[in-house]
Structures are given as structure tokens and as C-alpha cells.
Amino acid sequence: MRRLAEFRFQLRKFLHFSSLAAGAVGIRAQQYQLLQCIWGMPEELDPTIANVAARMLLKHNSAVELVDRTIEQGLLRRCPDPTDHRRILLRMTILGEKLLGSLAAWHLRELEETGPELIRALRRVLLTPQSQMQEPMRTEPRRVAMRNRN
């Protein structure tokens, strides 16, 4: 359990960095994730709101709100699908591409520094037999020693 907790801690540290980096350029972490999602959409999927929602694990209306906020900042635009006029595709603006490139470079530098510890934590989880990962259930909750306040 401790190894799994350590891995989660290492992930959280990276996600915290990501949130701070996004904030430093004036966007939210989810907006950075949205830009990544659109840029990295598999070729067999079109960058529609439905596909973005599915890939970001968001409800459709949440994805719409996120897209709207990102369009308001000039990072995305909606474009009609040339092959199916009923659909709208999401495209990054030049500003969105520049911002994504800058943030991606920061993230890669951070991973160069912190990635080895993240990998070590993941390896410890994956290479530990499952029987050793599970700790026995405690029958009583942990008691916290309280200082005498007198």
C-alpha cells in the first residue's frame, strides 16, 4: 500500500506542477489538457466536442463549457466539418499552438527532472507481488496520541 501511495504522490506532484504551469500562462489546467487532447487526437478520431469529452472523461456539457472558455481566450475555434456539415470540428489557433508548445516544453523539462522518481515509484508498484501490496485490515482505528494540554 505504501508503494502505491508513493506512486500516487509522485503523480500528484507532477499534476500540481502542471496546474501551476498552466496558471502561469493564464489558463486552467483543464484548458491545457484540452489543447493536448485536440493536438494528440488519434487520426481515426475527429476533434469534436463528443470525442474531446470522451477522451477527457468529461460530461458533454462540461466539455462544451471548457471549449467555450478556451475559445473566448483565442486558443481554439470551431470549424464546420467539410465532409459532414452537421458536425463541428475543433481547431487550435496559432496562439493556442504556441501556448501548447511552450507548456509542453516546460512539462518535458519537468519530466526530465522528476520523471526518474516517478518511474521508480511505478516500478516498485508493478514489480511488487500483489500479496505484498495488501496490508492486513486493522480491527481498530489508529489512535493519535494527544499532548497533555494542562
Please report, in tens digits, the pLDDT of each residue of the chain (150 residues total). 899 999 999 999 999 999 999 999 999 999 999 999 999 999 999 999 999 999 999 999 999 999 999 999 999 999 999 999 899 999 999 999 999 999 999 999 999 999 999 999 999 999 987 766 666 555 555 555 555 544
One-letter amino acid identity for 51?
Answer: N
95 in a domain, yes or no?
yes
Instruction: State the sign of the Cα–Cα–Cα–Cα dihedral 123, 126, 132, 137.
Output: positive
Non-local CB neighbours of 127 within 8 Å, separated by 6+ positions: none
147 in a domain, yes or no?
no
77 in a domain, yes or no?
yes
Decide if 89 contacts 46 (C-beta within 8 A): yes
CA-CA-CA-CA torsion for 24, 28, 29, 33, nearest 10 degrees? -120
> How many structural domains does the chain have?
1
Show the cell assigned to 146: 494527544
**Domain span holding position 121:** 2-131
Beta partners for 77? 91
- In angstroms, rounded to a whole number, what is the distance separating the alpha carbons of residues 121 and 17? 18
34 in a domain, yes or no?
yes
What is the CATH number for 65? Answer: 1.10.10.10
49 in a domain, yes or no?
yes
